[in-house]
Structure 1
């Protein structure tokens, strides 16, 4: 999401003054562009498109731009070029086919390639993720945070008020705000990172300092927990113990493992929670879909046990339902921005080095050219029935593009699937009845890089006495 927070108009005037010199030099020194920029809203002198940048639900504004200007839109903010992509083809042509040019990304200081290599090694394929299937199945009655902490650090959470979960939720709230593209002015004007904290508009430095302590605690404490358990010989299999096993782990490698494990938790938990919330909302709003999935589960699994991953291939409708969960409510509507490493000419447009490239994933998964009645929750769109071809696979889009595709996509997919199939096997989800009237939940989102639904009411009841017994087990 593109928003600028903690900046007053006075701050903006100060920042504008700082950029005047840069702008004047730019006009006199820089050579003529080899091709035109992509089309986009016309900006103002000096400040560019600052006033055009959406503050909430950026994907809606990006969609309007796409309809008006085409699949590639350009804006410029205080000298920083931003490219918005509004079609799957364009995103793949640029970020997949030209991945060497479009795979850089503005990252947090603690992120880097060592983390991505560790993530790929331990959870980078379906086969690698299979080792954690039993954990997913056994702990589904706890929160997603509990499941992810068990996988990342082998840590069993308390059923209520667990200190790690509480701390992690606070850190993830900070991260969601920080990772939203343009959430802070320093993301758009990087040189502000070097200004003193008293400089107008530099309030982000105070906020970063406050958040840093919680982040350090969340990264280091579970990591030390695993190391202590390994010394005692009682560490269960986990992402961290897998990478630390053996001898000769250097300080640099230990550091990378520590931050990789946190990345696994942060990336997996927040997005999975969002997807599961959308599952329960969809089942509340579309009861016929729920009944059809439950009928399939009842035939394949039966009433006497919970589903497992071994049942997945035999549950095509339920699998299609999971795909529709990922498409219908897009967890990362604008993804994470990529950064261009070198000047490029694409489709006749000039994409300068250093540009931020933002895929409008929300529109790609709600594009009526790709999906029939996209606002409708319809798993059957992904089934090859009655001679029709299934519609576009959402997992090719929702986890990102190119070399920066989400390394935890297989784990996330597995988490969402097992939660869906187990929940539908034992629960009936429906609208709440208040004063004799069924309450229809509103579909609305909270701000942040991970798109969470606003709280809503629904009724969740065991389907039968047998289902209740399975839940209690």
Structure 2
């Protein structure tokens, strides 16, 4: 009996040994995915484009496959052009794929390493997420903020009708008003609000300077120690100015809500809910302050891009606009504006909102970093590698979306026995533990703006000197992608629509 036990033990140890040897062999012999061939020492540093890199990544994907590898000065970068691969890696193995890379320019020098999108994976990150989930974690949780979104959208209708040539500014103002009220209980002024101005300044800076790799310091972190006056160190001045703006953006509204609470007049908000009935430690105060700032900056910018895209799409798609208006008229009528209570009864409006999110991808690419060595599908993914899901490519995949460049809401409606195409909200808000925590709030803001605008506006091409001006479909390159400025005509659909717009709020 003892002999059998010893034999069994030896067999068990042998099996473990064989397993470990196989794992070691697999790790040592696993190859990198294919990708463009780089140069000695510097790798692919000359191959990575600075303008709309997601387009180049998508083209490389056609040649090299859904997961490809590039190397920049020894930094391994893996681009994922496939939704399924992104799910397999970033969702199912989120425990090791949820870090962010250290980014010397935007993360360290500009100060964005303090915000949730840049925060390294760890305890502070989990606290940020916990705060956000507590307030915005589900559609049901954001219902309490629906009246704010409806009120501010009605104010937007008035401004857009009065000055349609300032459409983008109106959209930005409205997004700022909604998120400031929700995050801090702050009600913006009609024009030139100081907090909206700070936000616009900060968001413009991160859009212009926040792309990883646009500055050499991202590849040579030692350059961060170069003094600002040194020749060629202009990036240090840019970073300092951006950091000052960011710190002001975080502190000003946070101090406002604290002052309001001390005076006993604070409105309900994300910050006041986290601050009330508590004495915070220095760390807790920091987490609340920067959690709120992260929601403020994220919510203020992403919905601007989506809502501006809506007006571009409607300018170019009169038939879609008319079909949407028929649905609203039949469900809502002409005597009131749509509200969130109508949402389940307006499937075509819902489809338009999905198509807005797919057609112009607000965040075309995001960055993940790996905290442990991994082997995925036979490929070696070393610890510290940068993993980039190409969200633009996934939402323009002709295998999933027929004629992806076409704006077509009907792709999301079951028709003639065909199943709807993949809901873009499964993709556009990110993956794993890095998905957007304010996605339900953003989704609601886009929906109410779309529904109310279609209820009262006729949106069309501008006519100048007898010539109809067709806007060009082109989107900016940057961390966040916006439609490039365009002209459109915005008019009230009828006298009843005009009266609804002008109603007192």
Q: Is the 8 A contact 2:325 2:454 kept in 1?
A: yes
Cα distance, 1:301 vs. partner? 0.7
- Structure 2 match to 1:67: 62
Structure-2 change in CA distance of 1:452 and 1:468 (3 Å): same
Cα distance, 1:208 vs. partner? 1.5
In structure 1, how many angstroms separate the alpha carbons of the residues matched to 2:209 and 2:426? Answer: 26
In structure 1, how many angstroms separate the alpha carbons of the residues matched to 2:287 and 2:367? Answer: 23
Cα deviation, 1:316-375, whole Å, max 9, x if unaligned, reads 1100110000001111111x2000111111111111111111111111101100011111
Q: Is the 8 A contact 1:181 1:337 kept in 2?
A: no
- Structure 1 match to 2:304: 273
- Structure 2 match to 1:56: 51
In structure 2, how many angstroms separate the alpha carbons of the residues matched to 1:405 and 1:258? Answer: 20
- Structure 1 match to 2:150: 137
Cα distance, 1:99 vs. partner? 0.9
Q: 1:368 aligns with which of 380, 389, 398?
A: 398
In structure 1, how many angstroms separate the alpha carbons of the residues matched to 2:303 and 2:217? Answer: 29
Secondary structure in structure 1 of the residue aligned to 2:114:
coil
Structure-2 change in CA distance of 1:354 and 1:197 (3 Å): farther
- Say yes or no: does 1:109 pair with 2:113: yes
In structure 2, how many angstroms separate the alpha carbons of the residues matched to 1:234 and 1:356? Answer: 46
Secondary structure in structure 2 of the residue aligned to 1:418:
helix
In structure 2, how many angstroms separate the alpha carbons of the residues matched to 1:351 and 1:181? Answer: 20
In structure 1, how many angstroms separate the alpha carbons of the residues matched to 2:131 and 2:264? Answer: 23
Q: Is the 8 A contact 1:35 1:348 kept in 2?
A: yes
Cα distance, 1:203 vs. partner? 3.9
**Can you give the 5+ residue segments of structure 1 that lack an aligned partner in the other structure?**
1-31
In structure 2, how many angstroms separate the alpha carbons of the residues matched to 1:200 and 1:207? Answer: 14
- Structure 2 match to 1:461: 491
Structure-2 change in CA distance of 1:191 and 1:337 (3 Å): farther
How much is the aligned-residue C-alpha RMSD, in angstroms?
Answer: 1.7
Cα deviation, 1:15-37, whole Å, max 9, x if unaligned, reads xxxxxxxxxxxxxxxxx953111
Structure-2 change in CA distance of 1:102 and 1:202 (3 Å): farther
- Structure 2 match to 1:436: 466
Q: 1:233 aligns with which of 243, 253, 264?
A: 264
- Say yes or no: does 1:347 pair with 2:347: no
- Structure 2 match to 1:412: 442
Say how many residue pairs are matched. Answer: 442
Cα deviation, 1:414-454, whole Å, max 9, x if unaligned, reads 01001100111111100001121211100112221100111
Secondary structure in structure 2 of the residue aligned to 1:367:
coil
Q: Is the 8 A contact 2:360 2:475 kept in 1?
A: no
**Can you give the 5+ residue segments of structure 2 that lack an aligned partner in the other structure?**
1-26, 102-106, 120-124, 157-173
Q: Is the 8 A contact 1:104 1:340 kept in 2?
A: yes
- Structure 1 match to 2:33: 38
Structure-2 change in CA distance of 1:391 and 1:132 (3 Å): same
In structure 1, how many angstroms separate the alpha carbons of the residues matched to 2:228 and 2:466? Answer: 57
Q: 2:78 aligns with which of 58, 79, 83?
A: 83
- Structure 1 match to 2:165: none
- Structure 1 match to 2:287: 256
- Say yes or no: does 1:323 pair with 2:354: yes
Please show how residues 272-351 of structure 1 align to structure 2 within 5 Å. Answer: 272-334=303-365, 336-351=366-381
Cα distance, 1:193 vs. partner? 3.8
Kindly name which structure, 1 or 2, has the bigger radius of gyration based on alpha carbons.
2
- Structure 2 match to 1:17: none
* The 10-residue stretch of structure 1 (455-464 or 188-197) with the greater mean CA deviation from structure 2: 188-197
Please show how residues 86-235 of structure 1 align to structure 2 within 5 Å. Answer: 86-106=81-101, 108-111=112-115, 112=119, 113=125, 114-140=127-153, 141-142=155-156, 143-194=174-225, 197=228, 202-235=233-266
Q: Is the 8 A contact 1:136 1:418 kept in 2?
A: yes
Cα deviation, 1:24-62, whole Å, max 9, x if unaligned, reads xxxxxxxx9531111111111111111101010111100
Q: 2:432 aligns with which of 402, 421, 426?
A: 402
In structure 2, how many angstroms separate the alpha carbons of the residues matched to 1:72 and 1:187? Answer: 23
- Structure 1 match to 2:162: none
Q: Structure 1 length normalisation: TM-score?
A: 0.90
Cα distance, 1:201 vs. partner? 6.0
Cα deviation, 1:250-284, whole Å, max 9, x if unaligned, reads 22212211111111111111110000011000000
Cα deviation, 1:369-423, whole Å, max 9, x if unaligned, reads 0011111111111111221100011000000001111111111000100110011
Q: Structure 2 length normalisation: TM-score?
A: 0.85
Q: 2:451 aligns with which of 391, 413, 421?
A: 421
* The 10-residue stretch of structure 1 (348-357 or 409-418) with the greater mean CA deviation from structure 2: 348-357
In structure 1, how many angstroms separate the alpha carbons of the residues matched to 2:368 and 2:283? Answer: 26
In structure 1, how many angstroms separate the alpha carbons of the residues matched to 2:217 and 2:132? Answer: 28
